[in-house]
Amino acid sequence: MDSIAFVNAMYLMENHTFSRRQALQATAVLGTTLLLPLQKLQANILPIISKTPSITAEEIAAIDTALGKKGSYKDAESVYTTPLPRNDLKMKIKGETVPIPFGFGGWVSFKKTVDGKSAMVMSDTVLQMEEVNTLISAAHANGLEIAAIHNHFFYEEPRIFYMHIHGIGSIDVLAKKYANTIRDSKLFPANQPAPSVPSTITGKENFDLPTLDAIVKYTGTVNGPTYKYTIGRADLKVMAMGVEMTTNIGLNTWASFAGKQDDAHIAGDIAMLQSEVNSVIKILRKHNLEVVAVHNHMLGDDPHMIFLHYYGRGNAATLAQGFRAAIDVLGKTPMGNMKM
């Protein structure tokens, strides 16, 4: 028996993270000792876990104290997130100023494992080139790991890279480790300039929201002068290191609009199974949206997710149609159904 396959199967059993597909795989790997009806197998060793254990008020206070900033809690996902915008940056795309909420705001999220015995910290950080390796060293010095480093944009000035940092442990310890990792960087909230006075013109005035919502078939969120859709993958159960990955800990598809209704920028990210990648690329190009990057965000995720970043310029409704067409591709291609 393949030792890696055996370990993976035992890990799934011990952490109760089976999907039906994974249960069948584990049965095949572990042999005749598990040749039971699937329903009996699940009843005996897979107690139903309806919800990830909540983050307590004391744990939230520990995160807030470590970072010196309050975040927000999503009870439906048991995820606590603190935004880390780079308000010190003045961003341009093709020479035109774009707001930080368009896609230059980082974040850090905390979520417990499904068995409640540990927790994950997951972060997406916004960095200039010269900041990347300093932060890598700080993360490793504090016992955290790097999951990915990549671009999200073309044409941006200054050049920006995004680094995903993760770790496993207790929430209070993870909060201290993460705070110490970013403490000497511009990411740390205390090192950011005071927020500028909000503009009286917001995404609500810049865009025809009812028209966009009707096209996308979701309701977005106004964030300053931008309008953003964030959509999870409710059709999938993705596990990583014992944590169920959900919308607010990074498993999401999004689209952000900046500019005006008749002259808009769109940028975003699409969370895909490997078998969906080229179908999404094909439909984005059909709608004249530029594919900017294709990469991972996480390590150890099952099924393994790929993330595609895209960009476009034009009428907001036309751009939204391209985004919706990409969403329509998701969930249509079975896992493993990749043409060679």
**Statement: residue 7 has pLDDT above 80:** no
Instruction: Calculate mean pLDDT across residues 11-20.
Output: 48
DSSP for 60-99, please give it.
HHHHHHHHTS--EEETTTTEEEEEEE-TT---EETTEE--
Per-residue pLDDT tens digits for 62-87: 999 999 999 999 999 999 999 999 99
How confident is the prediction for the chain on average, in pLDDT?
88
Query: What is the average per-residue pLDDT within 16-29?
Result: 48
296-299 contacts at long range (C-beta below 8 A, 24 or more positions apart): 296/147, 296/148, 297/124, 297/147, 297/148, 297/164, 297/250, 298/122, 298/147, 298/148, 298/164, 298/166, 298/240, 298/245, 298/250, 299/145, 299/147, 299/148, 299/166, 299/240
Token pair of 118, please?
Answer: 């540990």
Secondary structure of residue 160 in the 3-state scheme: strand
**One-letter amino acid identity for 185?**
S
Taking residues 113-138, report their average pLDDT.
Answer: 98
**pLDDT at residue number 334:** 64
What pLDDT is recorded for position 16? 46
Has residue 224 got a pLDDT over 80? Answer: yes
- Euclidean distance between CA atoms 236 and 305, whole angstroms: 10
Residues 153 and 247 in one domain: no
Report residue 139 as tokens: 């993360």
Number of structural domains the chain divides into? 3
Do 126 and 249 reside in the same domain of the chain? no
Give domain status of residue 339, yes or no. Answer: no
Asked if residue 157 is part of any domain, the answer here is yes
Edge-to-edge strand list for the sheet holding 226-232: 221-223, 226-232, 252-260, 263-273, 305-314, 290-295
With tokens 């769109």, the residue in question is 266
* Range in 37-51, 71-85, 123-137, 242-256 the model is least confident about: 37-51
Q: What is the pLDDT of residues 161-197, one digit of tens each?
A: 999 999 999 999 999 999 999 999 999 999 999 877 7
The pairing of beta strand 119-128 with beta strand 160-169: antiparallel
**Pair 129, 76 in one domain:** yes
pLDDT in tens, 39-54: 443 333 334 445 899 9
The pLDDT of residue 337: 57
Whether 121 has a pLDDT exceeding 50, the answer reads yes
Predicted local distance difference test score (pLDDT) of residue 51: 84
Question: How high is the pLDDT of residue 30?
Answer: 46
- Are 99 and 185 part of one and the same domain? yes
Clarify whether residues 74 and 171 are in a common domain. yes
Overall residue count recorded for the chain in this entry = 340
| Token duo for residue 38 | 């699937």
- In contact, 249 and 238? CB cutoff 8 Å: no
If asked whether residues 226 and 314 sit together in one domain, one would say: yes
b/e burial code for range 203-233 (CB count within 10 A of at least 16 → b): beebbbbeebbebbeeebebbbbbbbbbbeb
More confident call, 330 vs 35? 330
Q: Which residues pair with 119 in a beta bridge?
A: 112, 169
Euclidean distance between CA atoms 5 and 11, whole angstroms: 10
Same domain assignment for residues 22 and 141: no
- Residue 47 confidence (pLDDT): 40
Structural domain containing residue 212: 203-329
pTM, two decimals, is 0.84
Tell me what the mean pLDDT of segment 312-332 comes to.
Answer: 97
CATH number at residue 268: 3.30.70
Q: Is there a domain that residue 65 lies in?
A: yes
